[in-house]
């Protein structure tokens, strides 16, 4: 690679950091056309990686997935190749129309890439307390951490010890609270995967729970591949199979696990009897805002624009046009102006009139828009979890679409735990009908705005003691199973 090419790659990095994704794509196209053979053959993966970053910054998850696939295919270094492949799997969930069998196959390929990793062997352990380890890149203010608090605050300290393993250097008040409550805490940031796994193994963790999956480049999974604990579980932070044979179980619930869907997973599903989600709201959220009964209905989505497929825009247009005077608010999770331009073009192509849709960039105080929103529309196939819980807590009902795939069923699970399963549907027609019916039934909509927070607080979704008891029942079950397997192996 020439010095000029390296300088141009650095300029592209600055463009991406500044939110200038379109300019970055133009520069990448220029490098691809005029680049030296050394750049294209030896370092072409670097271009692919930056294409993935640029397309994701613009909100095009499918294009980002294709670019990360190319990066993984062209990279010559296993660790970086695995990170690119994890990014590919993550972005693949934004794309519509991916068959379930293909999704499992693509994840299973990740496990094959790690087949040569040496794994720890574990002997029988007789101990008074089981040691549970939680591994995450999100032990700070983050959507995932909203669901982690019971792990550190409500467990039975007479039967369990809890260790936290933080894979990032980002710390805040959430980190401090978790660390203060845990029996042990380690920062693994800066450690290579083998060294990080060795620390967990040396801590004699019995059950290791991964809360990251293929997010953050799959770094937690590369650590899990060494099997530092005898029993390993994937939960919460990832919404699909990991594809990694070293992960024994995938934590789910009776709603998210569709009948006959166990073949979607490399892991064995471990369903909780009520919910896999227990929500802790951020401090400082105001009381829910009353419904403007006389005003026109405002549907809203506060999701990352990448989650909004063209097919969803068509369904949303149908909903709006069936409710006189209705409008749609689309508020992004980032403040990139180019994403607003890109979404405005997509909205027009989907058949909306410009005055029917309000576009807003992401903002720290996005929750203020709940005072205007009447109904939140969930996305599909990449559905909401944290956003769904927050909307309901703020008194705004959510209409959700789900399929057989585990990650599409989060809204169905959350709503079912509130006895509001009729607001979720397994078909496009049912989804559209549910949204229209709710918008037209003003008395029911008003009642939901007034009672949803209380429903949340009295439901399994905000019952940390009952939630962690369900987890601990699961821990005992899988631990006994592992002990029996070990005894059976020893007797052969």
| Domain ranges within the chain, ordered by starting residue | 3-92, 130-278+464-490, 298-461
Please give the pLDDT value at position 406: 95
Separation of alpha carbons 313 and 311, rounded Å: 5
CA dihedral of residues 59, 60, 62, 66 (deg, nearest 10): -110
Q: 75-79, 110-114, 169-173, 400-404: which has the minimum mean pLDDT?
A: 75-79
Residue 438 pLDDT class (50, 70, 90 cuts)? very high
With 90 as the cut, is the pLDDT of residue 128 above it? Answer: no
Separation of alpha carbons 412 and 282, rounded Å: 23
Please give the pLDDT value at position 38: 76
Q: In a 3-state reduction of DSSP, which class is residue 468?
A: helix
* Paired sense of beta strands 375-377 and 398-401, if any: parallel
Percentage of the residues of the chain whose pLDDT score is greater than 90: 85
Q: Which residues pair with 412 in a beta bridge?
A: none
Please give the pLDDT value at position 279: 97
Separation of alpha carbons 210 and 247, rounded Å: 9
Q: Give the rounded distance of the alpha carbon of 488 from its chain centre.
A: 37
- Mean pLDDT, rounded, of the chain: 94
| Length of the chain counted residue by residue | 492
Separation of alpha carbons 469 and 229, rounded Å: 22
Please give the pLDDT value at position 273: 95
With 90 as the cut, is the pLDDT of residue 243 above it? Answer: yes
Whether residue 438 contacts residue 375, with contact meaning beta carbons closer than 8 Å, is answered with yes
CATH of range 130-278+464-490; options 3.40.50.300, 3.40.50.11380, 3.10.300.10, 3.30.70.380 = 3.40.50.11380
Per the listing, tokens 């933080």 go with: 166
Is it true that 130-278+464-490 and 298-461 share their CATH fold?
yes
Per the listing, tokens 């390993």 go with: 232
Q: In a 3-state reduction of DSSP, which class is residue 328?
A: strand
Picking from 415, 492, 420, 417, the residue whose alpha carbon sits closest to that of residue 458 is: 417
Whether residue 370 contacts residue 396, with contact meaning beta carbons closer than 8 Å, is answered with yes
Whether residue 326 contacts residue 319, with contact meaning beta carbons closer than 8 Å, is answered with yes
CATH number of this structure's domain 298-461? 3.40.50.2000
With 80 as the cut, is the pLDDT of residue 10 above it? Answer: yes
Q: Give the strands of the sheet with 184-187, arranged side by side.
A: 184-187, 160-166, 130-136, 207-210, 231-234, 249-253, 268-272
Q: How far, CA to CA in Å, does 92 sit from each of 87, 106, 342?
A: 8, 10, 20
With 70 as the cut, is the pLDDT of residue 370 above it? Answer: yes
Exposure class string for 129-139: b at 16+ Cβ within 10 A, else e: ebbbbbbbbbb
CA dihedral of residues 87, 93, 94, 96 (deg, nearest 10): 140
Q: 4-8, 145-149, 309-313, 323-327: which has the minimum mean pLDDT?
A: 4-8
**Half-sphere exposure (Cβ direction) of 78: Cα atoms closer than 13 Å:** 10
- Per-residue pLDDT reduced to its tens digit, 43-90: 888 899 999 999 999 999 999 999 999 999 988 788 889 999 999 999
């Amino acid at each position: 690679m020439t010095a000029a090419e390296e300088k141009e790659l650095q300029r592209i990095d600055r463009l991406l950091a500044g939110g200038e994704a379109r300019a970055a794509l133009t520069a990448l196209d220029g490098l691809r056309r005029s680049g030296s053979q050394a750049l294209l053959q030896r370092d072409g993966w670097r271009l692919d990686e930056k294409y993935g970053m640029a397309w994701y910054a613009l909100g095009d998850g499918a294009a980002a997935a294709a670019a990360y696939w190319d990066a993984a295919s062209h990279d010559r270094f296993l660790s970086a190749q695995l990170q690119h492949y994890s990014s590919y799997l993550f972005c693949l969930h934004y794309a519509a129309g991916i068959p379930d069998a293909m999704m499992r196959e693509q994840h299973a390929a990740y496990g094959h890439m790690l087949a040569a990793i040496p794994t720890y062997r574990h002997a029988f352990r007789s101990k008074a307390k089981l040691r549970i380890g939680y591994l995450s890149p999100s032990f700070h203010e983050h959507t995932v951490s909203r669901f982690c608090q019971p792990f550190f605050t409500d467990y039975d300290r007479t039967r369990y010890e809890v260790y936290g393993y933080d894979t990032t250097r980002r710390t805040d008040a959430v980190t401090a609270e978790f660390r203060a409550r845990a029996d042990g805490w380690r920062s693994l940031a800066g450690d290579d995967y083998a060294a990080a796994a060795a620390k967990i193994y040396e801590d004699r963790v019995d059950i290791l729970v991964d809360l990251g999956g293929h997010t953050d480049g799959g770094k937690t999974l590369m650590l899990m591949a060494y099997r530092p604990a005898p029993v390993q579980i994937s939960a919460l932070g990832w919404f699909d199979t990991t594809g990694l044979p070293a992960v024994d179980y995938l934590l789910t619930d009776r709603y998210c696990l569709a009948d006959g869907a166990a073949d979607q997973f490399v892991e064995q599903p471990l369903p909780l009897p009520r919910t896999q989600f227990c929500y802790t709201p951020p401090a400082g959220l105001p009381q829910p805002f009353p419904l403007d009964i006389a005003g026109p209905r405002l549907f809203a989505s506060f999701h990352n624009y990448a989650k909004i497929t063209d097919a969803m825009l068509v369904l949303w247009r149908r909903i709006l046009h069936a409710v006189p005077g209705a409008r749609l608010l689309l508020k992004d999770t980032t403040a990139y102006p180019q994403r607003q331009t890109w979404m405005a073009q997509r909205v027009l192509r989907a058949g909306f009139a410009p005055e029917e849709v309000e576009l807003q960039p992401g903002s720290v105080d996005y929750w203020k828009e709940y005072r205007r929103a009447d109904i939140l529309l969930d996305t599909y196939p990449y559905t909401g979890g944290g956003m769904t819980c927050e909307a309901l807590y703020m008194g705004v009902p959510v209409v959700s679409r789900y399929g057989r795939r585990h990650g599409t069923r989060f809204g169905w699970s959350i709503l079912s735990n509130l006895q509001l399963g009729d607001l979720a549907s397994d078909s496009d027609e049912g989804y559209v009908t549910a949204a229209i019916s709710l918008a037209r039934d003003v008395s029911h909509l008003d009642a939901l705005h007034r009672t949803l927070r209380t429903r949340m607080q009295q439901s399994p979704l905000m019952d940390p003691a009952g939630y962690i008891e369900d987890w601990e029942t699961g821990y005992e079950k899988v631990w006994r199973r592992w002990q029996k397997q070990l005894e059976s192996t020893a007797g052969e």
